[in-house]
């Protein structure tokens, strides 16, 4: 049995005027051919799960294409066409020699003139291989799932956790089901129920209520009702598309009626708890006040509204400005994206002082640049390290040229690649032990919790102005299907659920 595997993950924030290109993806991950297997093996992502399950079940040869992902703005057309062709070309070359296809996608990808990237990609694959070859797809919990997508693949497996500490499991499940399908043991069918609700990502953490209880409800439903899988897709509210919403996707063994019944019943349960997903967070000033009221440390302050993991620029200055103005001892900020400042620091060298305009260079709403005099260059690195977070343990990462600047009493890490903070490795790389600090500030919504939940004295979330804000009424949607909760309070679920 020969199964072709690959990965093309894109989570689009459409509220920025910037555009992503091929280089945007190469900065985070770009594996080709055998690298896809060799560099994923032993990690904790989707592809590693596919590899592990294929080896466990035996007599399976994996044919790798390529692997890339990033949370980023809308992909420019030329770059998307290139990325799509890179995935499809290997399939074209081997379409008469493969028995199945197992792909890691996202579910919230958007390119210029393409609202539904995943459906477009799968549809183009089907044009080459037809509908006789089974296709399995892993998806992110934040996918905005369309009915059209379901027509183009046989199996859809979403992660169930946020932080996504179960990517490996999702990869394993998708590979298991595609192998069983090829063997003729099962005939998977998938059904969808969209929920007229936007769920803010900051309230979707499955470590806490209500998402934790909803995750458990879905898991128990799957066990009790003899279905292959079901996923509560929270949706991604920062991608403005006609099908942006939460949804339930259920997979059964050749039982359309059971799959639709499962999707309907789980969706109703989620809808009935919709008010519990309301988010109200502090601003930067009150967040710091509350941190100072706590004995000991480290107190983690996460700036949820400038989360590069949601496609934001990562150079927002609201929280950092407040910290610099307070000038509290034993505080650090890791990190802010500013390749210009990182370059200035590297040219100046360790031990030198530099005058800079820090951050605030991408999206106006994220704040103005901060004028800094005499920032002390404390350390310089190439930005390379290995992640320790359970979310992506063992993954090599590269923030490129990075610098630790001491600005007053505040240690600030400046990086050249925008990406959310997963663990303490970027701090250690620059000589910072977070246990020595009172306040540790970072840009992330929930993925940081996979590591910091066990080491933080307390976690405080702040919501400053930004394009991943929890205040969705602040965003100017143009493509949503209305009415939709919570922007609209009086919503009849049955009116737009199908």
Q: Tell me: the pLDDT tens digits for 379-427?
A: 999 999 988 888 778 888 899 999 999 999 999 999 999 989 999 999 9
Is residue 345 located within the same domain as residue 328? Answer: yes
Q: Which of 194, 196, 204, 195 is nearest to 278 (CA)?
A: 204
Q: Tell me: the pLDDT tens digits for 348-362?
A: 999 999 999 999 999
Pull the structure tokens for residue 105.
């996608």
Is residue 165 located within the same domain as residue 303? Answer: no
On whether residue 491 sits in a domain, the answer given is no
Is residue 105 located within the same domain as residue 49? Answer: yes
Q: Terminus-to-terminus CA distance in the chain, angstroms?
A: 37
Is residue 220 located within the same domain as residue 362? Answer: no
Q: Tell me: the pLDDT tens digits for 278-304?
A: 888 899 999 999 999 999 999 999 999
Has residue 496 got a pLDDT over 50? no
Is residue 219 located within the same domain as residue 329? Answer: no
Is residue 371 located within the same domain as residue 404? Answer: yes
Which pLDDT band holds residue 42 (cuts at 50, 70, 90)?
confident
Domain boundary residue, one of 218, 250, 277: 277
Q: Tell me: the pLDDT tens digits for 439-455?
A: 999 999 989 999 999 99
Q: Tell me: the pLDDT tens digits for 228-246?
A: 999 999 999 999 999 999 9
pTM listed for this prediction: 0.91
Is residue 386 located within the same domain as residue 455? Answer: yes
Is residue 273 located within the same domain as residue 288? Answer: no
Has residue 375 got a pLDDT over 90? yes
Is residue 174 located within the same domain as residue 253? Answer: yes
Give the whole-angstrom CA distance, residue 448 versus residue 443: 9
Q: Which residue has the higher pLDDT, 217 or 93?
A: 217
Give the whole-angstrom CA distance, residue 314 versus residue 81: 27
Give the whole-angstrom CA distance, residue 362 versus residue 421: 19
Domain boundary residue, one of 237, 261, 277: 277
Domain boundary residue, one of 277, 301, 326: 277
- Is 49:175 a contact under the CB 8 Å cutoff? yes
Give the whole-angstrom CA distance, residue 61 versus residue 197: 42
Is residue 229 located within the same domain as residue 298? Answer: no
Give the whole-angstrom CA distance, residue 49 versus residue 269: 30
Has residue 150 got a pLDDT over 50? yes
Bridge partners (DSSP) listed for residue 412: 333, 405
On whether residue 496 sits in a domain, the answer given is no
Which pLDDT band holds residue 495 (cuts at 50, 70, 90)?
very low
Average pLDDT value for residue range 264-275: 96
pLDDT at 90: 85
**Count of structural domains within the chain:** 2
Is residue 346 located within the same domain as residue 445? Answer: yes
Q: Which residue has the higher pLDDT, 390 or 175?
A: 175
Least confident of 67-76, 212-221, 310-319, 388-397: 388-397
pLDDT at 280: 84
On whether residue 163 sits in a domain, the answer given is yes
Residues 6+ apart with CB under 8 A from 455: 298, 424, 434, 435
Mean pLDDT rounded to a whole number for the chain: 95
- Is 28:8 a contact under the CB 8 Å cutoff? no
Give 390's DSSP letter: T
Helices (H), 226-378: 256-272, 284-292, 318-326, 339-348
Which pLDDT band holds residue 109 (cuts at 50, 70, 90)?
very high
On whether residue 480 sits in a domain, the answer given is no
Which pLDDT band holds residue 497 (cuts at 50, 70, 90)?
very low
Is residue 339 located within the same domain as residue 411? Answer: yes
Domain of residue 183: give its range.
Answer: 2-277
Give the whole-angstrom CA distance, residue 67 versus residue 11: 15
- Is 40:67 a contact under the CB 8 Å cutoff? yes
Give the whole-angstrom CA distance, residue 427 versus residue 185: 49
pLDDT at 473: 84
On whether residue 475 sits in a domain, the answer given is no
pLDDT at 279: 85
């Amino acid at each position: 049995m020969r199964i072709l595997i690959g990965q093309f993950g894109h989570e689009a924030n459409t509220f920025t005027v910037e555009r992503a290109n091929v280089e945007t993806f190469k900065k985070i991950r770009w594996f080709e051919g055998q690298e896809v297997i060799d560099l994923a093996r032993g990690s904790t992502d989707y592809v590693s799960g596919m590899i592990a399950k294929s080896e466990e079940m035996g007599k399976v040869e994996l044919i790798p294409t390529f692997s890339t992902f990033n949370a980023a703005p809308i992909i420019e057309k030329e770059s998307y066409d290139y990325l799509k062709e890179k995935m499809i070309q290997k399939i074209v070359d081997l379409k008469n020699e493969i028995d199945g296809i197992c792909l890691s996608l996202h579910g919230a990808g958007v390119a210029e003139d393409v609202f539904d990237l995943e459906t477009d990609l799968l549809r183009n694959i089907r044009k080459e291989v037809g509908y006789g070859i089974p296709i399995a797809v892993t998806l992110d919990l934040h996918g905005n799932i369309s009915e059209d997508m379901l027509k183009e693949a046989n199996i859809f497996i979403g992660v169930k956790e946020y932080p996504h500490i179960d990517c490996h499991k999702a990869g394993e499940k998708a590979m298991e089901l595609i192998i069983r399908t090829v063997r003729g043991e099962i005939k998977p069918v998938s059904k969808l129920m969209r929920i007229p609700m936007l769920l803010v990502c900051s309230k979707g953490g499955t470590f806490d209520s209500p998402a934790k209880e909803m995750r458990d409800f879905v898991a128990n439903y799957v066990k009790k009702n003899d279905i292959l899988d079901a996923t509560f897709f929270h949706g991604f509210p920062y991608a403005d598309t006609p099908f942006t919403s939460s949804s339930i996707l259920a997979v059964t063994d050749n039982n359309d009626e059971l799959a639709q019944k499962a999707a309907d019943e789980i969706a109703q349960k989620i809808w009935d708890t919709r008010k519990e997903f309301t988010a109200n967070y502090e601003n930067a000033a009150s967040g710091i006040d509350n941190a100072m009221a706590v004995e000991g440390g480290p107190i983690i302050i996460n700036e949820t509204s400038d989360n590069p993991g949601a496609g934001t620029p990562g150079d927002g200055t609201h929280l950092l400005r407040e910290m610099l103005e307070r000038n509290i001892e034993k505080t650090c900020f890791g990190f802010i994206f500013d390749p210009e400042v990182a370059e200035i620091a590297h040219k100046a060298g360790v031990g030198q002082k530099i005058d800079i305009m820090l951050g605030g260079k991408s999206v106006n709403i994220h704040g103005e640049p901060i004028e800094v005099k005499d920032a002390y260059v404390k350390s310089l690195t190439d930005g390379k390290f290995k992640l320790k977070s359970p979310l992506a343990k063992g993954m090599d990462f590269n923030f490129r040229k990075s610098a630790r600047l001491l600005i007053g009493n505040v240690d600030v890490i400046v990086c050249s690649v925008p990406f959310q903070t997963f663990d303490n490795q970027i701090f250690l790389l620059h000589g910072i032990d977070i246990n020595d600090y009172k306040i540790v500030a970072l840009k992330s919504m929930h993925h940081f919790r996979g590591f910091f939940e066990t080491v933080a004295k307390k976690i405080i979330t702040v919501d400053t102005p930004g394009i991943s804000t929890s205040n969705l009424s602040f965003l100017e949607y143009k493509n949503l299907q209305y009415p939709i909760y919570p922007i609209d309070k009086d919503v009849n679920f049955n009116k737009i659920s199908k």
